[in-house]
Chains A and B, each alone.
Chain A
Amino acid sequence: MDTYDYPYTEDYNNNSTDYPYIEEPCSNERIVVIENFLQLFIHPIICCAGFIGNTLVILTYALYKRTKSMTDVYLLNVAIADILFVVALPLIIYSEQYGWTMGNLSCKLLRGIYSVNLYSGILLLACISGDRYLAIVQARRSYRLRSSTLLYSHLICAAVWILALLLSLPTFVFYERYQPGPIHHSHENSTDSHSNDIPYVCYFLFNSNETAIAMKTGVPSSQVVMGFLLPLLIMGFCYSSVIVTLLRAKNFQRHKAVRVVLTVVFVFVVCHMPYNIALLYYTINMFQTQECSHEEAVSLTMSITRSLAYLHSCLNPLLYAFIGVNFRNHFRKILRDIWCLGKNYMSARRSSRFTTDMYLSTRRSVDGSTNDNGTSFTM
């Protein structure tokens, strides 16, 4: 019957079940368990913290503080990018848990929005470092430029958003909602019903092997280069120049400022470096044969380090906005006003004198803060 069998390809023994050299498809059950844990317990915390922090930043700008400097414009845009990111993330988690029931458009949009905000958030941080470089290192040269034109920062922000959109185009184009699994081909008893119970995924789907290879290597590579290395290079150059200038200056607050700069860079590196190294390693070994255990370790590392990278979007409000004395004063004013409003609402008579005092002290502190030069690292 087996005309295609040759003697030299005979099995070593007939007992094929305990054959030690059989290569079976790798199961990712353990990864799925870890992913589920991260998605259901860790990411919601990140999303909540990120949502609260970034909402407060946006509210502060919207209600109390007009965007006066370039830094303000950048900070507002970072907060918008981060908030879109932390809003898209729970929707992605929900969709992944329930097999993308919202359809193909939601798959493309959610993944795309996620990618756009990932890029724009990080690139805007690089812009902030550039802005601080101009403000501190090139202070004399840039003074007129910075004070006269807010337009530049709007243009730069627009450019960053467009660049982020362009970098995310492959995601918009090639992400599809489909049922995974190999192409079913030939079975002796071909009564297959396996295609009905496989849940849908939202992932890359290509027409040809060439596009698959190009995009599967190109997309992660661009993420490492444009989403990490380039911003790191810009931040490294700008902030090291800033630190050199600050250490030369005779300002009593310089050590605090240096500490803030170092914290900003340190947190960026700690959050994004592990994931980018894992991603790079994964991409290099992508189309090669490997052990199941090896692949599992790499996937596990990527899942955990990815969560660390997500954490950055809820640390940004603390690192950039709330660390600035100027911003903090405005934020205090919001809290006091909300406090007063609540007090007034609940017991109007009892607290009237108290709120007047509070209001006056708030006025004083805000007026005091408007006189400083607006650099956001004075602590």
Chain B
Amino acid sequence: MRYWTMHFQSSKMVVKICILAFVTLLIFQVETEAGICCLSYTKRPKRCALLKGYDIQAITGRCDLAAIIFHTVKGKSICADPAQSWTQMRVECLKMKAAEVKVISSGHPI
């Protein structure tokens, strides 16, 4: 019986040491980035004037839903269904806007 208590005491100590080690690890821990995914779609379309860009969320990586993430001029992100026609229209609209910006910033006259 004494050997059992001895065994448990030693394992207790090891556990304590491990906890201590990981507490120190926690203090120096690098903050993990909050990964974000769209899980549902916006019901109401936004005007193109309120949008400044978009991202594509594919299911090939961490996220499990295909979506277009629009970024508004106010700094919000909006999840949109890529199968909806308005979503595709806004994407086209933003592409045109981007092309305009590119032409203007590169200095060539239209």
Interface residues of A (CB under 8 A from B): 1-5, 9-12, 16-17, 21-29, 32, 36, 40-41, 44-45, 47-49, 52, 96-99, 178, 180-190, 198-199, 201, 203-209, 211-213, 216, 286-292, 295, 332, 335-336, 339
Contacts and interface: CB of A to CB of B under 8 A. Distances in A.
Contacts of A212: 58-60
Contacts of A52: 11, 14
For chain B, what secondary structure do more than half of its interface residues adopt (helix, strand, loop), or is it mixed? mixed
Given A22-B76, A182-B69, A183-B57, 9 more contacts: A2-B48, A23-B38, A40-B26, A45-B18, A52-B14, A186-B94, A186-B95, A188-B101, A289-B65
29 contacts: A2-B47, A2-B93, A4-B93, A11-B44, A16-B76, A23-B43, A24-B77, A25-B38, A26-B39, A41-B22, A44-B18, A44-B19, A45-B18, A45-B19, A48-B18, A181-B35, A183-B55, A185-B54, A185-B56, A188-B52, A188-B53, A201-B62, A203-B61, A204-B61, A207-B60, A209-B60, A287-B64, A289-B65, A290-B40
A188 B6 CA distance: 68
A48 B11 contact: yes
A189 B97 CA distance: 10
Contacts of B50: 11, 16
Contacts of B11: 48-49, 52
Contact of A209 (B3, B6, B23, B59): B59
Contacts of A5: 47-49, 89, 93
A213 B76 contact: no
Contacts of B64: 216, 286-287
B44 A12 contact: yes
Nearest to A52: B11
A180 B32 CA distance: 12
Interface of B: 3, 6-7, 11, 14-15, 18-19, 21-23, 25-26, 29-30, 32-50, 52-66, 69, 71-72, 74, 76-79, 86, 89-95, 97-98, 101
Given A48-B14, A208-B60, A209-B60, A96 B90 contact: no
B90 A4 contact: yes
A186 B59 contact: no
Contact of A28 (B29, B36, B57): B36
B98 A186 contact: yes
A4 B25 contact: no
B25 A97 contact: yes
A99 B50 CA distance: 35
A13 to B, nearest CB: 11
A26 B59 contact: no
Given A11-B46, A187-B98, A291 B39 contact: yes
A26 B37 contact: yes
Contact of B39 (A97, A187, A292): A292
A191 to B, nearest CB: 10
Contacts of B59: 209, 212-213, 216, 287
Nearest to B98: A186
Contacts of B19: 41, 44-45
B62 A17 contact: no
Contacts of B91: 186
A23 B79 contact: yes
A333 to B, nearest CB: 10
Given A186-B94, A287-B64, A289-B65, A98 B30 contact: yes
Which 4 pairs between the two chains have the least Cβ-Cβ distance?
Answer: A187-B53, A182-B55, A25-B36, A289-B40
Nearest to A292: B39
Nearest to B56: A183
Q: Which of B11, B36, B50, B63 has the most CB of A within 10 A?
A: B36
Contact of A188 (B14, B89, B97): B97
A186 B14 contact: no
A366 to B, nearest CB: 14
B33 A182 contact: no
Contacts of B6: 335, 339
Q: Which of B43, B47, B56 has the most CB of A within 10 A?
A: B47
